[in-house]
Amino acid sequence: MNISIFGLGYVGCVGAACLVRLGHSVIGVDVNANKVRLMREGKPTIIEEGIAELCAEGHLSGRLTATMDVREAVEKTEVGFIVVGTPSTKEGHLNLNYIYTVAREIGEALRYKEGFFTVAIRSTVLPGTNKKVGEIIAEASGKERDRDFTVVSNPEFLREGSSVKDYFNPPLTLVGTDNKKAEEQFRDIYKGIDAEFIATDIAVAEIMKYVNNTYHALKIVFGNEVGNICKGLNIDSHKVMEIFCKDKQLNISPYYFKPGFAYGGSCLPKDMKALKTLAHDLYVEVPVIESIYHSNELQKSRAVQLIMQQGKRKVGILGLSFKAGTDDLRCSPIVDVVESLLGKGFEVRIYDKNVKMSELTGTNKDFILAKIPHLQHFVTDDLDSVCLNSDVLVVTNKEREFGDLLQRYPDKTVIDLVRQWQEVDYAGRYEGLSWGDINANREAQEAEQKQDKKQTEF
């Protein structure tokens, strides 16, 4: 495939050389005459292991060249990658001027081009940039998005020092697009790379690099804080983290990485608090570890606010224990939510088939009685009774018996704290705690919300 790359900096140079190795013909574009000269001579614009050999190879094959002429590059290619810089402003925002300038230049060049052209944003940008780039190109070209051109988001996951190796061995290939033709083009571009190809929503692709890098930063800080605690105890922190990383079932896995409700139970709150206290006793500052508790409390508050926003007083809580399939109420996050709702005068009913008040003993019983002394008046194992007598149903555990809840009670407001359903087609009102609108039946939902607004004084 004939490909143009706008920006011959770090990512652009690596991308150009690697795409040639994959069998494509590449034209690099840059405003810097020296970078263009180097690329034309088969030399890299950066220092990186393996890049010089790839550039020389591309030059000898005649499939790697460069120009300062945007129109020439657009005319000769079917796909153009934007890989210019997105530096931070003083206030911490992204400076997208380079992105928008290149988009306008591509749009102006498209005025004279016949055939479909795909623009790929490779630079790290925030959600919404793809849409804006499309608007700029449409305005400058006089052409229509998805008829004459399209814009996809194709973030890179390269590390300096090993970028060539990372390019050919990525964890995955991610393309955000709403255009089938563009998706097929990119499947063809990357067909020589042995990695899962994921086509997804544009906004999802745009935010992924930020999520990845923020998590990488968190891992470094977390490791450092653990190390500082270990040093205070004269423990080998590298051995600790080496063993930590061997657990691929929980520690390094997708198990806990699911947006939803707060954590609870007898282990996480107790052990996290103990580690934080140990650090305090050693006079070691651990702000990341200390902030975990606060963030967890905020998630409980978000749940309370979400329930209150529905404007209805009768609330049914489906699941009281901290986890499905158990009767353990210790530090169950929904207990704090119930306590808050009762304090604000809500009429609360609770369903949990596993929690039997007469059988609670020890710390489990002590915890719940300290929080809600008269719990026996609110909890029952009769699901229908709770649902029929509540206007708002709050799903707190992923129990199989809740699977058909939307079909059985189509007129309720349902608050989902655990992503019980991946997709929803519900005539009532559905809202998730930490994810966007997944209800396919939005018209009915919006109509119900308008009706409630008219009838409710809250």
Closest CA to 417 of 398, 441, 399, 400: 398
Token pair belonging to 260: 């939803």
331: region left, alpha or beta (phi > 0 left; psi from -120 to 50 alpha): left
CB 46 within 8 A of CB 15: no
Three-state DSSP class for 343? helix
Question: Is position 267 annotated as part of the catalytic site?
Answer: yes
Token pair belonging to 392: 């708002």
Closest CA to 153 of 192, 182, 180, 110: 182
Strands 64-67 and 149-153: what pairing? unpaired
Dihedral sign from CA coordinates of 113, 128, 208, 123: positive
H helices then E strands: how many in the chain? 17, 14
Q: What is the rounded CA–CA span in Å between residue 298 and residue 433?
A: 12
In terms of Cβ atoms closer than 10 Å to its own Cβ (0-12, 13-18, 19+), residue 195 is: middle
DSSP element (H, E) containing 149: strand 149-153
Q: Which residue has the tokens 């001027």?
A: 97
Q: What is the rounded CA–CA span in Å between residue 285 and residue 234?
A: 17
Question: Residue 81: what are its φ and ψ, rounded to 5°?
Answer: -95, 130
CB 345 within 8 A of CB 313: yes
Three-state DSSP class for 176? strand
Q: What angle do CA 292, 329, 404 make, to 5 degrees?
A: 95
What residues does 439 pair with on adjacent strands?
424
What residues does 414 pair with on adjacent strands?
393, 430
DSSP 227: H
Q: Which of 18, 230, 245, 267 is catalytic?
A: 267
Give 151-190 as a DSSP string: EEE------TTSHHHHHHS-S-EEEE-S-HHHHHHHHHHT
**Residues 6 or more apart whose Cβ sits within 8 Å of residue 431:** 306, 413, 414, 415, 416, 437
What residues does 3 pair with on adjacent strands?
26, 79
Mind telling me the catalytic residues?
Answer: 267
